[in-house]
Amino acid sequence: MMKQVVLFIFLNVVSACSYAQLKNLDINVEESAAVFLEEFNDEFQENFFEALKQKGIENYDRAINALLVCKKIEPANSVVDHELAKTYALDKQYSLAIDYGVASVAAEPDNFWYLATLADVLRKQGAGIEEVRDDIPFENEKLQENLALLYFKRGNYNQSLTTLKKLKKSPFSDNLKAKIQEWVAKERKNMQLRKEIRKNEITQTQAKEDPSKRYKAEIDSLIAIQNYSQLKKVSDEALEAYPSQPYFYYAQGYALNRTAKHKAAIEVLEAALDYLVGDVSLANKIYTQLGEAYNAINNSVKANMYLRKIK
């Protein structure tokens, strides 16, 4: 078992870098291999190192042949099975990759990386891990935890939750559920943001086609950032170009109200009502502003009259 642990550590170090990258880092690959593989006999070491080197430079046939020699020397070595699964997959020999992937998971069902490799190969074939459930200890508790984690890492949150439901309640299941909920919330927020961006893009496109929509988009932005002096200026321009648009009267009245010019605001807002037809939302906004303006000049009767009109 110690041999496999040492070998597995080395294998993951080498897998993180290509052979060329190791050379560029001035790491003596052969000396490193000697340190990590010293537990194994010379023939195994030479062939295993050769396999890693050939895989790193994409000579997959030679890498596979060297690994098969290692397999003959140590038939039960799950690390070799795992490496064969990865190398056969790189060589697009998926059937053999699945066979060796299954062998590595069957030997060590609690190993996350073995399961991840097998799942990757199966996915390339359009299949899922359930396809080989009879060939591996599928109900193993740790394997199921790893499977739930694997689904989570790939963004398959529903599958991850479904897998978690089969497991006993534990700190692991609680933590993973919390992470899933966090990511789902983030994705919903991002989706809403994308919708808003798309909506703005459509609005901007429409604004280019229709100048009145450009004015409305600009007014909406000025209201949002509370730039009332600029809002008054833009609404003046909009009214000059479109004197029958009630929204532009509302925008000007809003700007006047916010700059304490309440009598002027009342005049403009009441003018807006002359052009208003069937827009309940805009009517409510105008009534609200009229209520505020009349309250500001201490005319509660008129203020209440307009506020009662809000639907």
| pTM of the predicted structure, to 2 decimals | 0.53
Alpha-carbon Rg for the chain, nearest whole angstrom, is: 35
CA gap 146, 154 in Å, rounded: 12
Higher pLDDT: 135 or 214? It is 135
Q: What is the pLDDT of residues 102-158, one digit of tens each?
A: 999 999 999 999 999 999 999 999 998 989 999 999 999 999 999 999 998 888 888
**Which pLDDT does position 33 carry in this prediction?**
40
Neighbours of 207 (CB within 10 A): 16
Say what angle helices 246-258 and 211-225 make with each other, to 10 degrees.
20
Closest CA to 20 of 60, 56, 54, 59: 56
Which of 143-147, 193-197, 213-217 comes out lowest in average pLDDT?
Answer: 193-197
Contact in structure between 9 and 35 (CB atoms under 8 Å): no
Four-point Cα dihedral 239, 240, 245, 249, nearest 10: 20
